[in-house]
């Protein structure tokens, strides 16, 4: 078993989803098990949110994809700004990645902004 630490630092130029105001973005992250979703706090009225929140996952062999979904918080239904999937195999060798990632639109055609993530991977000794 290993431990994966994900720091959701900030977003920039997130696509506006509301007609009359800026977005109220938050991020959901999870590995292959959707039951283990974790999410950031909502940052109101901005396209450039700063979260700086740390999430820790117990990582099992075979969980090679980190899922990132960015939403705009609304009263009735949250609007999805975009998402991305990060293959963690490169992280297993490096153990630390600090990078900006493009948030892809629904069909993956265009970018709906960027998100800054720091990924740390540590094998646990038994």
Domain ranges of the chain: 2-123
d(CA 124, CA 8): 22
- pTM (whole model) above 0.75: yes
CATH number of 2-123: 2.60.40.150
More confident residue, 50 or 20: 50
Give pLDDT, residue 40. Answer: 98
d(CA 58, CA 84): 20
Give pLDDT, residue 115. Answer: 98
pLDDT tens for residues 71-99?
999 888 899 999 999 999 999 989 999 99
Nearest 10 degrees: Cα torsion 87, 31, 92, 59:
-170
Give pLDDT, residue 49. Answer: 97
Nearest 10 degrees: Cα torsion 97, 100, 106, 112:
170
d(CA 35, CA 32): 9
């Amino acid at each position: 078993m290993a431990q994966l630490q994900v720091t959701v630092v900030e977003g920039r130029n997130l696509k506006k989803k509301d007609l009359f105001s800026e977005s109220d973005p938050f991020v959901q992250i999870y590995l292959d098990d959707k039951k283990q979703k974790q999410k950031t706090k909502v940052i109101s009225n901005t396209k450039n949110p700063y979260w700086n929140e740390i999430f820790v996952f117990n990582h099992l062999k075979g969980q090679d994809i980190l899922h990132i979904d960015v939403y705009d918080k609304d009263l009735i239904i949250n609007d999805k700004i975009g998402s991305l999937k990060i293959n963690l195999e490169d992280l297993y060798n490096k153990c630390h990645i600090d990078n900006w990632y493009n948030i892809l639109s629904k069909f993956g055609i265009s970018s709906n902004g960027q998100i800054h993530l720091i990924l740390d991977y540590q094998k646990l000794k038994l």
